[in-house]
Amino acid sequence: MTKKELIENINALRKEKNAIILAHYYQEAEIQDIADFVGDSLALAQWAAKTEADIIILCGVHFMGETAKILCPEKHVFIPDMEAGCSLADSCPTDEFERFINENPGHTVISYVNTTAKVKAVTDIVVTSTNAQQIVDSLPKDEKIIFGPDRNLGDYINKLTGRNMLLWNGACHVHEQFSIERILDLKKAYPDALLLMHPECPKYLLEIADHIGSTSSILKFATESQNKEFIVATESGILHQMQKENPDKLFFPAPPEDSTCACNECFYMKMNTLEKLYLCLKNETPEIFVEEEIRVKAVKPIKAMLEISEKCGL
């Protein structure tokens, strides 16, 4: 099937089945272009919570599909490739995280959305990188907090909020593999470029950034800035929207350690293709299911996140 036929078929099927296609900024450009909505992980959860569609196709990774299913148990939620996981979610096995919680009683448990449904089920409040600071700030100053699984985001939020949260030692393989030497070389080549970075990057990298924020925050910053050149240190899929919204500006992907690659891609995110999206919509598989016992526990911290976010205008 040609790309044009794939697009025509996807458009016909989504209409016929009352399906909505939600895509994360890290998806392939052609998936972003066909989606009903493109956003960061908070916005995808917010869209899933309010959609009236019967079917949600979540073009992202597994935990994003799970979050949509937890919020909308009556809907069918599909992801184009069931193998699209997340190294950060994998760095936090439920039994080990539960042991950590039990070893540190009296703590409120905050988990990044990049976790499995089972980890969310033992969590008090879920956060994303868009709302983590506001959610931590909404808690009393003396509240003892466990933050998991991203040690880099946790460390950064500790610094922003003046807290001393106990951190789980997890990380994302994409954001940990940027090369500081190659970023500095890029800065030398483009001295006017501002360095935009995701808070999943380690501290030694965050220290040289001009702006730190979630994918949507990086996009907003670049759009509102008077500057014309930017080096972008997060998964390179975001450059598609940045370029689309700012055709007169230049965006350079920050390079990884591996000197054969110019940009840094999440291979899980890139498992989804236009063809798999078409097949998923046509065959209604692979479907995301969450055990009801886990779902009823996991929905509480996600709803808590959505409520605080709404109060904060996020």
Residue 214 interaction partner, one of ligand 13P, ligand SF4, none, beta carbon < 5-8 Å per kind? ligand 13P
Q: At what angle do helices 62-71 and 41-50 cross, to 10 degrees?
A: 30
Three-class secondary structure of residue 13 per DSSP: helix
Q: Quick one: which segment of 30-38, 48-56, 123-131, 156-164 binds ligand 13P (CB under 6 A)?
A: 123-131
DSSP-assigned letter for residue 270: G
First to last CA, the chain: 41
Sequence-distant (≥ 6) Cβ neighbours of residue 190 within 8 angstroms: 229, 231, 250, 252
| Cβ atoms of residues 57 and 281 within 8 Å | yes
Size of the site for ligand 13P (CB under 6 A): 10
Residues 167, 151: Cα–Cα separation, whole Å: 6
**Using the rule CB under 6 A, which residue among 21, 172, 197, 274 binds ligand 13P?**
172
Residue closer to ligand 13P by CB (options 51, 129) is: 129
Residue closer to ligand SF4 by CB (options 157, 174) is: 174
Residue closer to ligand 13P by CB (options 10, 153) is: 153
Residue closer to ligand SF4 by CB (options 172, 305) is: 172
Task: For 288-312, give the secondary structure using H, E and C.
Answer: CCCCHHHHHHHHHHHHHHHHHHHHC
Residue 290 interaction partner, one of ligand SF4, ligand 13P, none, beta carbon < 5-8 Å per kind? none
Residues 10, 15: Cα–Cα separation, whole Å: 9
Whole-number minimum distance, CB 215 to ligand 13P, in Å?
4
Site for ligand 13P, residues 38 to 57, rule: CB under 6 A: 40-41
Residue closer to ligand 13P by CB (options 103, 310) is: 310
Site for ligand 13P, residues 215 to 234, rule: CB under 6 A: 215
**Using the rule CB under 6 A, which residue among 51, 67, 111, 128 binds ligand 13P?**
128
Residue closer to ligand 13P by CB (options 123, 214) is: 214
Query: What's the alpha-carbon Rg for the chain, to the nearest Å?
Result: 19
Whole-number minimum distance, CB 263 to ligand SF4, in Å?
13
200 binds ligand 13P (CB under 6 A): yes
- The residue ranges that bind ligand SF4 (CB under 6 A) are 61, 86-88, 114, 172-174, 235, 266, 268-269
CB atoms near residue 162 (< 10 Å): 9
Residue 87 interaction partner, one of ligand SF4, ligand 13P, none, beta carbon < 5-8 Å per kind? ligand SF4
Site for ligand 13P, residues 130 to 159, rule: CB under 6 A: 130
Residue 41 interaction partner, one of ligand SF4, ligand 13P, none, beta carbon < 5-8 Å per kind? ligand 13P
Concatenated DSSP letters of 61-128: -HHHHHHHHHH-TTSEEE-S-TT---HHHHTS-HHHHHHHHHHSTTPEEEEESSS-HHHHHT-SEEE-
Whole-number minimum distance, CB 309 to ligand 13P, in Å?
12
H or E stretch including 159? helix 151-161
Residues 38, 53: Cα–Cα separation, whole Å: 16
Per CB under 6 A, residues contacting ligand 13P are 40-41, 114, 128-130, 172, 200, 214-215
